[in-house]
Amino acid sequence: MYKLIKMTRLLRILKIVKERSKLLKYLNEILKIGIGFDRLMFLFMVSLIVCHIITCVWLIQSEVLSDLGQGTWKDSDDIKKMQEEDNKFGLYMTSFYYTVTTITTVGYGDISGTNVAERSIATIIMLIGVIGFSFGTGSLASVMSTYDQTNAGL
- Measured between alpha carbons, how far is 59 from 90 in angstroms, rounded to an integer? 12
- The answer to whether position 15 is within a domain reads no
Q: pTM higher than 0.85, yes or no?
A: no
Which residues constitute the domain of residue 90? Answer: 51-146
- The answer to whether position 39 is within a domain reads no
| pLDDT at residue 44, rounded to an integer | 82
- The answer to whether position 134 is within a domain reads yes
- The answer to whether position 20 is within a domain reads no
- The answer to whether position 130 is within a domain reads yes
| pLDDT at residue 10, rounded to an integer | 60
- How distant, in Å, are the alpha carbons of 104, 124, 148 from that of 119? 17, 9, 43
- The answer to whether position 78 is within a domain reads yes
Closest by CA position to 45, among listed 23, 29, 74: 23
Q: What is the pLDDT along the chain (154 residues), one digit of tens a residue?
A: 555 556 566 666 666 666 666 766 776 677 666 666 667 777 788 888 889 999 999 999 888 888 888 888 888 877 888 777 778 888 899 999 999 998 888 888 888 888 898 899 999 999 988 888 888 788 778 777 776 666 665 5
| Overall number of domains in the chain | 1
Residue pair 118/72 in contact (Cβ under 8 Å)? The answer is yes
Residue pair 98/73 in contact (Cβ under 8 Å)? The answer is yes
Residue pair 67/87 in contact (Cβ under 8 Å)? The answer is no
- The answer to whether position 42 is within a domain reads no
- Measured between alpha carbons, how far is 154 from 143 in angstroms, rounded to an integer? 17
Instruction: Give the CATH number for residue 80.
Output: 1.10.287
